[in-house]
Amino acid sequence: MTLLVTGGAGFIGANFVLDWLSVHDEPIVNLDKLTYAGNLDNLTEVQGDARHVFVHGDMGDRALVRRLLERHRPRAVLNFAAESHVDRSIHGPEDFIQTNVVGTFRLLEEVRAYWSTLPQDERASFRFLHVSTDEVYGTLAPQEPAFAESDPYEPNSPYSASKAASDHLVRAWHHTYGLPTLTTHCSNNYGPYHFPEKLIPLMIVHALQGKPLPVYGDGQQVRDWLYVRDHCRALQRVLAAGRPGQTYNIGGGQEKTNLDVVQTLCALLDELAPAPQRGVVDARTGRPIQRYAELITHVPDRPGHDRRYAIDARKIERELGWRPAETFDTGIRKTVQWYLAHPQWVQRCQSGAYRDWLARQYGASMA
């Protein structure tokens, strides 16, 4: 019994691998292309573990996927592999189409061919779990109800459009070919091993370095926040008991504005890593700071920025008995503590290419 995981060196994928192997003996074959956000440092806990087989490669490489399926005979495939950063999709959408749409198509075709050769009982128990995002639903007004699984797709960025397309492919491969698929839509994840271009790790890293904390527009964009280990446990439940062909929303039930999140991070850092004790100075002025909130800087909003996402997760609770274990307050404290305890991981993430990206996105003064 084996799982094949694509994108298992990225943020959510790596956390799933670590969480799975902490409670299961079933091996994982981990296929990852190791693009900018795929990081083998995320998997140091399982280095040398015979239950974890890492393969450097692209899920769109059909010959490679075919060999892995034939060799390891997995009972399920979990697809985490994706280009996932909205800002990057605005600057360079083609990579998102190639990975999220073409790559998913090629993976589906190889999995379908493999699945069709399985004995009847193995075909019946096989699962293809596709990990998607709440962003495919578009944006919500302040008083609108949270996204439900039956809501229409209204993607507003190249990233969300590419994920919506991949979702439609997964649905079609189930209805046309009978492939036993499962699709999940998660809200904004946070936690350990989050690449430092996303909001929460970016703010933590910049604050400790005395750099500006860039907040888009008025900072009143609302997101539902989900601790990544809660997401991983939800995926385990979906894999174990989800009904083929179904979609499950996975949310934390913790709506916060971006500005609230940044202010919460600043307050936690004031408590856990006080700026005066660390000798943090404002990188723009060279003056010592007393509180990290002094670094908050509003920058022009990004094009097509969705104002609110929220997830209605009642279906997965009702059918599969899953609920998040962490509140935002407990999860964000664990996250800040993790980043404070792992400065070397952050330093290794900050390659020259990463710094170039920050400069291009937020301006040279932010890098």
Burial 294-307 (b: 16+ CB within 10 A, else e): bbbbeeeeeeebbe
**134-151 burial, b for 16+ CB within 10 Å, e for fewer?**
bbbbbbbeeeeebbebeb
Return d(Cα 243, Cα 69) in angstroms, integer: 23
**Which pair of structure tokens corresponds to residue 92?**
């360079």
Distance in angstroms (rounded) separating the CA atoms of residues 335 and 254: 15
Total count of residues recorded for the chain: 367
d(Cα 10, Cα 38) in Å, to the nearest integer? Answer: 4
Contact 179, 229 (CB under 8 A): no
From 219, 306, 305, 204, select the one nearest 257 (Cα to Cα). Answer: 219
d(CA 271, CA 274): 6
Q: Are strands 222-227 and 213-216 parallel, antiparallel or unpaired?
A: unpaired
Cα 116 from chain centroid?
Answer: 30
What is the b/e burial string over 331-348, where b = at least 16 CB atoms within 10 angstroms of the residue's CB? bbbebbebbeeeeebbee
- Mind giving me the DSSP string for 29-59? EEEE---TT--GGGGGGGTT-TTEEEEE--T
Please state, in angstroms and rounded to a whole number, the distance separating the CA atoms of residues 358 and 100.
23
- Active-site residue set: 134-135, 159
